[in-house]
Amino acid sequence: MGGTFDPIHLGHLRAAESAREALGLAEVAFVPAGVPPHRPGPQTSSIDRFAMVCLATAAHPAFTASDLELRREGASYTVDTVAALLAARPGATVVLIVGSDAFAEIGSWKDRERLFALCSVAVVLRPGTSAQAGWESVDMDSRVARVEGPGLPISATVVRQRVRDGLSVRYLVPDAVADHIAKRGLYR
């Protein structure tokens, strides 16, 4: 599961857990983007975003944090990340977990056909987005699965704005992430 994770929040964790349960995944690796190609750069450093992902995933035995994209130069293209994961784990099966908001943009992703050849994709419905967006840009016989499950209407944008406004982000992010944001003075 990739994203800027600026910051990681409970909506990300719930989406990953829904995909893990629905697809019987043994592990979910959270991969913070180094240089996201489809959006403005993150507001916090890669080390802070990676630290927050580590803190958020530490208590779940099937969740791990990966700094793969943070160590790589240039734009963080998903197809390159999946290829690197497969090279590091020959014979592994990779399932890319994306929110329906990100999936709506799949038509603009780099080497989309190669990506679908390398992995299957699990689309988790994000509250407030269309369940249909993005599906027209993929072959319906491709390796794409819809993941049902409870979604949490939380966004990193709202979390950052609450911090700027001096409001609590407790119960929107894991406690350890809220503590990290406060101690490091992030998003102020």
Q: What percent of the chain has pLDDT over 70?
A: 92
CB atoms within 10 A of CB 102: 21
Q: What is the per-residue burial (b if ≥16 Cβ within 10 Å, else e) of 44-69?
A: bebebbbbbbbbbbeeeeebebbbbb
For tokens 């995909």, what's the residue? 19
Q: How many CA atoms lie within 13 A of 157 on its CB side?
A: 3
Q: What is the mean pLDDT of residues 119-126?
A: 92
| pLDDT tens by residue, 46-103 | 999 999 999 999 999 999 999 999 999 999 999 999 999 999 999 999 999 999 888 8
Instruction: Give me the pLDDT at residue 130, please.
Output: 59
Q: Is the pLDDT of residue 162 over 60?
A: yes
Banded pLDDT at 135 (limits 50, 70, 90): low
Chain centroid offset of residue 9 CA? 10
Q: Is the pLDDT of residue 176 over 80?
A: yes
Instruction: Give me the pLDDT at residue 129, please.
Output: 65
Q: How many Å apart are CA 86 and CA 164, to the nearest integer?
A: 40
Instruction: Give me the pLDDT at residue 91, please.
Output: 93
For tokens 């599961």, what's the residue? 1
Chain centroid offset of residue 52 CA? 13
Instruction: Give me the pLDDT at residue 49, please.
Output: 98
CB atoms within 10 A of CB 39: 12
Closest Cα partner for 131 from 110, 151, 154? 151
Instruction: Give me the pLDDT at residue 139, please.
Output: 60
Q: Which amino acid is at 14?
A: R
Total number of domains in the chain = 1
Element holding 120 (H helix, E strand):
strand 120-124
Which residues lie closer than 8 Å to 163 by C-beta, 6 or more apart? 169, 181, 186, 187, 188
Structural domain including 118 reads: 2-184
CATH number of the domain that residue 24 is part of: 3.40.50.620
Higher pLDDT: 14 or 40? It is: 14
Q: What is the mean pLDDT of residues 177-182?
A: 98
